[in-house]
């Protein structure tokens, strides 16, 4: 049997949710797929690897709806890379997005405290420019239990939501 030697002193096995804050991540993969809640429209499933100091290697996922009435999330996502400007994305003939162009690129994500099945989890609220990312938000409340009486949306396995209180159309946009 072969001997494997790896330096593991800086590798974390922490799989707890990231603390609320803004983090720099690298896009690991993007896949367009039908929404599980409504196969008549698609979502982008974006997988990130955190590169922010202290959280390197941590993975997270975001679902961005491509539904016509919620394209603001997609527009925010594509403009935060700094590759395309407003003129590019506002082209009246349409904006063509090649997902391969952003694989390996850095983007900011705003992480909020969330819960799924009564357990804390990492939720991406929206995308940011990299220069807006500051890491953990020391003023964010620390989740130990799901907030009592707080309205939570109905979410299927893809993270798709139809309505969310507070004006956010998807917890992952």
Whether the CB-CB separation of 102 and 27 falls below 8 Å is answered with: yes
Q: Write the pLDDT tens digit of every residue in 118-142.
A: 887 888 999 999 999 998 888 876 6
Counting DSSP H helices and E strands in the chain, the numbers are 2, 6
* Mean pLDDT, residues 155-163 taken together: 51
Name the pTM for this structure: 0.72
Task: Fill in the DSSP letter of residue 106.
Answer: E
Mean pLDDT of the chain: 81
Give the Cβ contact number of residue 168 at 10 Å: 16
Residue 151 class from Cβ within 10 Å (0-12 exposed, 13-18 middle, 19+ buried)?
A: exposed
pLDDT digits (tens, 9 = 90+) for 59-102: 999 999 999 888 999 999 999 998 888 888 899 998 999 999 99
pLDDT at residue 173 in the model: 41
């Amino acid at each position: 049997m072969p001997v494997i030697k790896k330096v593991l002193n800086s590798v974390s096995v922490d799989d707890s949710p990231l603390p609320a804050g803004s983090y720099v991540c690298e896009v690991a993969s993007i896949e367009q797929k039908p929404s599980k809640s409504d196969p008549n429209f698609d979502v982008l499933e974006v997988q990130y690897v955190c590169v922010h100091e202290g959280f390197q290697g941590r993975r997270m996922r975001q679902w961005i709806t491509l539904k016509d009435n919620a394209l603001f999330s997609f527009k925010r996502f594509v403009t935060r890379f700094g590759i395309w400007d407003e003129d590019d994305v506002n082209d009246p003939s349409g904006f063509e997005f090649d997902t391969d162009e952003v694989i390996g690129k850095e983007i900011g994500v705003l992480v909020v405290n969330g819960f799924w099945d009564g357990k804390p989890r990492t939720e991406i609220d929206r995308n940011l420019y990299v220069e807006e990312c500051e890491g953990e938000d020391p003023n964010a409340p620390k989740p130990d239990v799901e907030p009592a009486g707080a309205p939570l949306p109905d979410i299927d396995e893809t993270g798709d939501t139809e309505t969310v209180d507070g004006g956010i159309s998807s917890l992952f946009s």
